[in-house]
Chains A and B, each alone.
Chain A
Amino acid sequence: MTLLKKNLEALKKNNPDLAKKAESTEIPGNIRINRSKSGFPVLKLDGLHLNSPYDPIKEAKNWISRHSCEIEDGEPVVLLGLGLGYHLLELLKHTERKVFVVEPNMEIFRAAIEYVNMGSCLSRVKFFINKDIDKLYEEIPFKYLKYREKYNINILKHTPSLKSNNEYFDSFLKRFEALKRSSNLRLKILVISPIFGGSYPISKYCVSALKRLGHNVDFLDNSPYYKTFKSLENITDEKNNVAQLRSIYINLLSEVIFARAIQVKPDFIFALAQSPLTLELPKRLRELNIPLAYWFVEDFREMSYWREIAPLCDFFFTIQRGEFFRNLKEIGVSNFYYLPLACDPEFHKKVFLTTEEEKERYKCDISFVGAGYYNRRNSFLRLLDFNFKIWGSEWDLSSPLSKNIQNQGRRIEPEEYNKIFNSSKINLNLHSSTYHQGVNHFGDFVNPRTFEIASSGGFQLVDYRSELHKFFKIGEEIICYRDADELREKIEYYLKHPKKREEIARKGQQRALQEHTYENRMKEMIAFVLERSSDRLIKDNRFNGNNLEKLIKEAGRNSELVNFLSEFKDTREIELKEIVKEIKKGEGELTKVENIFLLMDSFVH
């Protein structure tokens, strides 16, 4: 049996997809395998030796003796660059742990498994070959950087590989550094909300999350302007004139954003979809040297205004990728990043209803929370025979569903969601569509409701989406359906199996709380901003002086002060105004420490 077959057999056991790809890959002409002076195969790529032409084994041994001290206990080991694998084999002798290898070149991998005996090491190694950086960071262990606090990875570099693929590894390391750095930085961020709509509560969750991460957040809440905005449609019946009035109003609100930006001088602005930004505003912000990050939490196929806004933003975040990314590239946008929606555990949580009135109000077998989009109005007619309650606005009160629609179809506040999610046996989730009868079989992004129900500990049935399996294990942490028939089947099944519902809901909640919170998303968002920014944001650590850990350390033996500062355990960075706010909230006699902080505050105000 050739080395290749032997290696492929071993690889198939752990990674059959990779084995298949490697098998079908041919070694191209720019890769030459020669013999070293010591008789071992060495790889030359475009004329550059990736291994020592004299003694690749000795070279690998020397390499590991230089770098073995960098391997810290408990942290995963990642090798950047494979070469022909000599370094990998030496590395495996020095650690018991699983090793991860990142190699962008499939041909090199093919060469490695063809010419070098990998043997049993293949079971201990997870290979990421030719993996897109974004997708790479969705894999373990890299994805843990996004949401595990103080998580670190031992990075060992195969320098010749890095030189041969500079761009790829540069991107990888920039992302890595940015993710690590984003935990320690405290930035000043101006968050802009929309005037109304589904993305409005998302903007508030983002603000809370950013604050919990320790950033200094200024929130420009545009919701007070909704009433006036809405009233414009009553001024005239002429639609063009209404549009004109709205445009003028949006211009004004854009000036409000500009004025606030001058006042606040943020490190960057974070705007949500439907924020009242004119197309002129990003340019003016650039003149102020304030980067604009925009989170487009819309279906790009439904809302096309991304074509105008995306090229103007410094960072563009999306809830879809694939085709959307291709489209963005086509219009010259490069700083885009896939950032899915999430939940806010402080808001979306389990609640227990105490009054009989509330229990009566919310209790049901199946609930649905959301607006009466076309596909929902159709699909739900199939469920009329169930104990089914519908909450939300824009439903047709004259339809047969009218008896299921609660509160005369008035819009409900997010505060009520948790009560509904925890009172129904099954929470129905159907992604909206204005043109599908029911389920959109090509639907990709996952709506916020999916995460919110999971976070609150409710059991849900959600229509299948192509990205869904990235967030939850289907069948274990969440249950899907692909059409109305399957939906009915699963409703009947799960109504009869409460324990299974509980188990799945519990696991789904665990997953949501661990990985899919707005805190994690905001951390990622900031990491991307840092990654793609000039060094200013990284170097100019203006708030580092008030990192809480540092302050406590600096307080040293002053136990009064240490004890006081330690009370701010949920904060990473702290400012005087937050300290004063907490002091004023307190009760009882003020301590000396508190009085001195109040005195400091009196100097400033």
Chain B
Amino acid sequence: MFTKFYTSMVKSEEKKNILIVNLTRMGDLLQTTPLIVSLKEKYPLSKITLLVNKVFSDICKGFPFIDKIHILDIPQFKKEIKDPKTSLVKSYRKLEEEIEDLKRQRFDMIFNPALSKTSALLTYLLKCPQVVGFTMDGYGHRLIKNPWMNYFANKLFNREYNLFNLVDIILRSAGLNNTPKRLFYHISNKGKKYCREFLRKNNIKESDFIIGLQPGASKKIRQWPPLYFSKLGSILIKKYNAKLLLFGTPKEIELGQEIEKKMKKENIVNLIGKTSIDELAALLTKCNYLVTGDTGTMHLAASVGTKVIALFFGSAYCFETGPYGEGHVVLQSNLPCVPCYQNIECKNPLCQKTIRPFNVITGIEFSKRIRVGRTISIDEEEFNGKINIFYSQFDENNFLEFVPLIKRRLTKKDIYKYCYKEIWQNALNKELTFPIDINKLSKKINLYFKINADDKDLLKSLERDIGSFKKLVKLSSEGKKLSVVLINLASSDLKNNLFLIKDIGKKIERIDQEIIDLGNINTFIKPLTLMFNFGKENLTEKEILPLSRKTLGLYNALNKESLLMVELIQNIFLKILENREKGTKKILKKVV
């Protein structure tokens, strides 16, 4: 069914019993499929169980290598708990039995990549010897097991400095430094049959230019205006004689009607609320492209190999959750307020209108050409500085990256993004380290961005920022020294040194507070300070000696990372300017 994706994967003979906890939605579940496939590749003798919420369990039937799907009927639990006629003890017992049932399966390893309290509590209650991801400690505090998962929690607060896709973070957290470079969904024969009949009934030929449109999104802020979909549809029909398929859930029926109203009815088939997930997946395989926001359908399209033209704005950020695979085009709104925080209610979502229908057409055109080994130059004016257009591919270290198709002026945020990407790859990966090749990094930045040698403002700003990084170096050095003293005191005569130990403890607290404050004041430092803080929160040692050792470890890491940032920033800009003189190369690898 699935061919091997790794040319060189060190397989383990261990028979692992693995549980993957994912109580979230369709898109999140699909993003777990590379993990499933990779685990199976690494541990071919393993058994993989997927724990899902009943509401989203349908999609799992198409996942590869799942030996068992354990469905948790959360809506039913919720209903019974809220019902005053149902005894609390009855609900308690039912849940207890569910947990005992899972415990009886004696998992060796649990992956919980979701930041929810429910999944963390469940993971904790299952008492597994090896947990990767989110769990709890015995006192009800969040505990993050694994540096990459720590990073995942961190990234929620520092999104503008993150370049790692969620799928890659999950893979790396499992110690898998390779990637199958796609998502997975297997369409059933029933689904395929449905698709064949559908095409026949609607007189659609395989050779037709078929575009799928997914107008709905989980949040209104992520919904492209229906009028734009209508206009796009009209252009697609006029320019390509395209056949359009409208996709969506029953909740989006009205939205679909609104879009159809403003278009000519021929060439459109409205399938909103009419397909199962399997049927949807089958239909997607027949689409040349899917035009969509950041939705589950987008991930499904990527899973079945359909190219996506994805529209990202509002709280959606393509670097985090963009379509996983090569050859997708992403239009990302570039307004200063993007991406916004997940839970805010924007009163003026200008970002929704920054991407216009003709931008999408450009994306399609680009994708069409690149697939046959050609390129097009993209008119910067058309993209008016408010949108970035990206193309997805995998970098030399197998991380998904979105390559800009328009070179925008380099900002220091861009520099930090790429520097942090280098640093985290080193800091978070215990097995592999990638030496930071400043030369290579600067060449990449040269390729992706417009650099102005006379950009004195940028230089000045970088210089100022270096000062802040150096403060962090100093603080972490002080922390290191104090930790060493603490270790020595704790190792020698704990009883008699108690007063001194307490004193040093207070000093360490003050340094920690200064570190946090520094991060809050200078947001570009926050990725480092927050990681450090998360590390501290996750210390579970109770005895002074092991606690001090771990603390030293954290200060050490922070010290190294901040020194590295200083070095990178100090050298990168010069290198960028140097490389600029040597000319540019082709942006993209040829895609067959």
Q: Residues on A close to B: CB < 8 A?
A: 542-543, 545-546, 550-551, 554-555, 558, 561, 565, 574-576, 579, 588-590, 592, 595-600, 602-604
A555 lies within 8 A of B89 (CB)? yes
Residues of A close to B140: CB separation below 8 A:
590, 595, 598
Minimum C-beta distance from B89 to chain A (A): 4
Q: Which residue of A lies closest to B121 (CB)?
A: A599
The stretch of B73-81, B513-521, B526-534 that contacts the partner chain: B73-81
A550 lies within 8 A of B87 (CB)? yes
B81 lies within 8 A of A604 (CB)? yes
Closest 10 CB pairs of A and B: A589-B138, A602-B118, A554-B89, A542-B84, A599-B121, A602-B117, A603-B78, A545-B87, A603-B77, A551-B89
Does B547 sit within 8 A of A, measured CB to CB?
Answer: no
> Which of A550, A588, A597, A602 is the one whose CB lies under 8 Å from B92?
A597
Does B96 sit within 8 A of A, measured CB to CB?
Answer: yes
Query: In the complex, A593 Cα to B121 Cα: how many Å?
Result: 12
Residues of B close to A558: CB separation below 8 A:
93
Query: In the complex, A600 Cα to B94 Cα: how many Å?
Result: 10
Q: Known contacts A551-B88, A589-B139; is A599 also within 8 Å of B118 by CB?
A: yes
A561 lies within 8 A of B139 (CB)? no
Q: Which residue of A lies closest to B76 (CB)?
A: A603
Q: Which residue of B lies closest to A590 (CB)?
A: B140
Q: Which residue of B lies closest to A597 (CB)?
A: B92
Residues of B close to A575: CB separation below 8 A:
88
Does B122 sit within 8 A of A, measured CB to CB?
Answer: yes
A590 lies within 8 A of B138 (CB)? yes
Query: In the complex, A558 Cα to B93 Cα: how many Å?
Result: 10
Interface string of B212-240 (1 = CB under 8 A from A): 00000000000000000000000000000
Does B481 sit within 8 A of A, measured CB to CB?
Answer: no
Minimum C-beta distance from B122 to chain A (A): 7
Q: Known contacts A596-B95, A603-B81; is A590 also within 8 Å of B89 by CB?
A: no
Minimum C-beta distance from A221 to chain B (A): 25
Residues of B close to A604: CB separation below 8 A:
78, 81-82
Q: Known contacts A542-B84, A589-B138, A602-B118; is A554 also within 8 Å of B125 by CB?
A: no
Does B399 sit within 8 A of A, measured CB to CB?
Answer: no
Q: Which residue of A lies closest to B93 (CB)?
A: A558
Residues of A close to B95: CB separation below 8 A:
596, 599-600
Residues of A close to B89: CB separation below 8 A:
551, 554-555, 561, 565
Interface string of B137-171 (1 = CB under 8 A from A): 01110000000000000000000000000000000
B121 lies within 8 A of A574 (CB)? no
A599 lies within 8 A of B122 (CB)? yes
> Which of A545, A590, A603 is the one whose CB lies under 8 Å from B86?
A545
Query: In the complex, A561 Cα to B93 Cα: how many Å?
Result: 10
Q: Which residue of B lies closest to A562 (CB)?
A: B89
Does B586 sit within 8 A of A, measured CB to CB?
Answer: no
Query: In the complex, A308 Cα to B118 Cα: how many Å?
Result: 53
Does B99 sit within 8 A of A, measured CB to CB?
Answer: yes
The total number of A-B Cβ pairs within 8 Å is: 71
Query: In the complex, A550 Cα to B121 Cα: how many Å?
Result: 28
Q: Known contacts A588-B139, A589-B138, A603-B74; is A598 also within 8 Å of B85 by CB?
A: no
Q: Which of B37-96 contact A (CB under 8 A)?
A: 74, 77-78, 81-82, 84-93, 95-96
Does B124 sit within 8 A of A, measured CB to CB?
Answer: yes
Q: Known contacts A590-B138, A592-B125; is A603 also within 8 Å of B88 by CB?
A: no
B92 lies within 8 A of A600 (CB)? yes
A600 lies within 8 A of B91 (CB)? yes
> Which of A546, A589, A596, A603 is the one whose CB lies under 8 Å from B96?
A596
B125 lies within 8 A of A542 (CB)? no
Residues of A close to B96: CB separation below 8 A:
596
B87 lies within 8 A of A551 (CB)? yes
B81 lies within 8 A of A596 (CB)? no
B125 lies within 8 A of A546 (CB)? no
Residues of A close to B84: CB separation below 8 A:
542-543, 545-546
Residues of B close to A602: CB separation below 8 A:
116-118, 121
B122 lies within 8 A of A546 (CB)? no
- Of B91, B92, B138, most A-chain CB atoms within 10 Å: B92
B138 lies within 8 A of A600 (CB)? no
B125 lies within 8 A of A595 (CB)? yes
Query: In the complex, A99 Cα to B524 Cα: how many Å?
Result: 86
B99 lies within 8 A of A600 (CB)? no
Residues of B close to A597: CB separation below 8 A:
92
Residues of A close to B91: CB separation below 8 A:
600
Query: In the complex, A595 Cα to B124 Cα: how many Å?
Result: 9
Q: Which residue of B lies closest to A601 (CB)?
A: B81
B139 lies within 8 A of A590 (CB)? yes
Q: Which residue of B lies closest to A598 (CB)?
A: B121
Residues of B close to A588: CB separation below 8 A:
139
Given A596-B99, A600-B92, A603-B78: 18 more A-B contacts, CB < 8 Å: A542-B84, A545-B87, A550-B87, A551-B87, A551-B89, A555-B89, A558-B93, A561-B92, A565-B89, A574-B88, A589-B139, A595-B136, A596-B95, A598-B117, A599-B95, A600-B91, A602-B117, A603-B81
Minimum C-beta distance from B86 to chain A (A): 6
- Of A574, A595, A599, A600, most B-chain CB atoms within 10 Å: A599
Query: In the complex, A460 Cα to B143 Cα: how many Å?
Result: 59
B88 lies within 8 A of A546 (CB)? yes
Query: In the complex, A254 Cα to B118 Cα: how many Å?
Result: 40
Residues of A close to B87: CB separation below 8 A:
545-546, 550-551, 554
Query: In the complex, A88 Cα to B533 Cα: how many Å?
Result: 82
B77 lies within 8 A of A545 (CB)? no
A599 lies within 8 A of B125 (CB)? yes
Query: In the complex, A565 Cα to B74 Cα: how many Å?
Result: 24
Q: Which residue of B lies closest to A574 (CB)?
A: B88
Query: In the complex, A554 Cα to B93 Cα: how many Å?
Result: 10
A603 lies within 8 A of B139 (CB)? no
Query: In the complex, A592 Cα to B124 Cα: how many Å?
Result: 10
Minimum C-beta distance from B84 to chain A (A): 5
Minimum C-beta distance from A163 to chain B (A): 38
Q: Which of B272-301 contact A (CB under 8 A)?
A: none
Residues of A close to B85: CB separation below 8 A:
542, 545
